[in-house]
Amino acid sequence: MGASPSPDTARALPFLIGRSTDTLAPRGKNPRVVICGGGWGGVTAAKYLRQYAPHLEVVLLERNPVFFSCPMSNKWLVDAVDTQFLTHDYLAVAEKYGYRFIQTEILEIERDRKAVVTAAGSIAYDYLIIAPGIRYNYEAWFANDRRMAEATRARFPAAYIPNAEHFHLKNALHAFKGGDLVMTLPPPPQRCPPSPYERACLIASMFKQKKIPGRIIILDHKDGVRPIGPGFRAAFEELYKDIITYVPNARIEEVDPFKKEIRTEAGDFRFDHAILMAPHQAGDLAWKAGVVPQPGAGRPGGWADVDPLFLHDRNDKDVYVIGDAVGFVSPQFAFYPKAGHVANRHARIVARYIAEREAGREPSYILPDNLCYMMVNTNPQEGISVQFDYRVNDQGIIEQTQMDFNERSPATIPEDFNWARLIYEDMFS
């Protein structure tokens, strides 16, 4: 018999298979920006950093192999767009703009030594951009009961984080034969506040076209539909009166995914199928980075505490947070809308801030804008929209102006698709 391999030989790995204890990329001579998260914000930041400050080394860390867009995905659920429209290639755009894309799981963010620890190794940074999106706060429903949380996500996924949940939900909707479909809406702040209402309208439109005897029950924490409240209420009443039931003030008290029961302050509900959206918080990476304050720290909990104008951690100017994870920014409106458009704008803004700092200049603040289109009917295709603009008043407070466009219009649909194409081109072309 041959000799057994030594422990060192047995543990030997090919060079490109890394351990978390390895150095993923040695430091070069130029400053390095590490971006954690490859969603709408992260991808945009990588591109614009290379354009604004070409000398910087830019590394994008993302666990998913392919970009899948949450914006526009409601339309995909009912086959109004195809999968190719929502998916994009990380590798090609990284090669084109000269940044490094590494597909890996981020394990820890060690601020004290300015390093990100991944499953493939540790990488040091000079600037850190955290673009984590959201997480589902199932703890608000189930405390530490992991079994209940896992059953809820597996059986009745929210599909508000891009992953297999979207495919699970789409298959379930197209296999639905009838009965009560309950949608729980997260309390504010939440990812893309108008989109659950759009989702309800599009599913109702599909039920209507396919003559599926289904009823959609929307359980909303709020006391009324908003934003674009009159537009959505008109759609509910004029297009889907016999399909959509809207229940306000339906704060969740108990969810049982096994018995298919929900208890709320507005009553108890049983369901045949459900889209169970737990409360939202800043994504996991924001917590690992330590940018989410503990409850009672003087800011609304669950979201990153950043400088409202410059989007860096209040205690560390080399750590920026962009997109949905950004916390309280104004006493007038509290949070920026947690939308892909805002994440894209935040990314451009932070890229400009870092480029200015690298050029030895103190950045001047830049504010985002936001634009959301919502399809409410598929036959004929009609939509409504909302726009947000921002300014800083004389007291240094960011003010928001909101414009709701409530009238259903076929003209909104090509505007919507053109907006999506332009912003995908901005990120990937």
Tokens standing for residue 314 = 């209040």
Q: Quick one: pLDDT at residue 15?
A: 82
Q: Quick one: pLDDT at residue 97?
A: 97
pTM of the model: 0.94
Q: Which CATH number fits domain 137-280: 3.50.50.60, 3.40.50.1980, 2.60.120.620, 3.40.50.150?
A: 3.50.50.60
Between CA 400 and CA 413 the distance in angstroms is 25
Report how far Cα 278 is from the mean position of its chain's Cα atoms: 14
Distances (CA, A) of 357 to 178, 332, 364, 411: 58, 30, 10, 43
Between CA 291 and CA 352 the distance in angstroms is 21
Between CA 302 and CA 86 the distance in angstroms is 29
Q: Quick one: pLDDT at residue 5?
A: 52
Q: Start-end ranges of CATH 3.50.50.60 in the chain? A: 32-133+283-369, 137-280
Q: Quick one: pLDDT at residue 294?
A: 80
CATH code of 32-133+283-369, in short, is 3.50.50.60
Q: Are 104 and 6 in contact (CB under 8 A)?
A: no
Q: Quick one: pLDDT at residue 23?
A: 87
Type of residue numbered 314: R
Q: Quick one: pLDDT at residue 12?
A: 78
Q: Are 329 and 311 in contact (CB under 8 A)?
A: no
The dihedral over CA atoms of 240, 244, 245, 248, expressed in degrees to the nearest 10, equals -100
Q: Are 180 and 270 in contact (CB under 8 A)?
A: yes
Q: Are 60 and 38 in contact (CB under 8 A)?
A: yes
Q: Quick one: pLDDT at residue 90?
A: 97
129-151 exposure pattern, b = at least 16 Cβ within 10 A, e = fewer: bbbbbbbbbbeebbeeeeebbee
Tokens standing for residue 424 = 């995908």
Question: H-helix or E-strand containing 125?
Answer: none
Contact residues for 427 (Cβ-Cβ < 8 A; gap 6+):
40, 43, 44, 47, 88, 93, 344
Type of residue numbered 5: P
Q: Quick one: pLDDT at residue 297?
A: 54
Q: Quick one: pLDDT at residue 295?
A: 73
Q: Which residues of the chain have pLDDT under 50?
A: 9-10
The dihedral over CA atoms of 113, 136, 67, 228, expressed in degrees to the nearest 10, equals -120
Between CA 287 and CA 141 the distance in angstroms is 19
**Cross-strand partners of 330:** 334
Q: Are 118 and 288 in contact (CB under 8 A)?
A: no
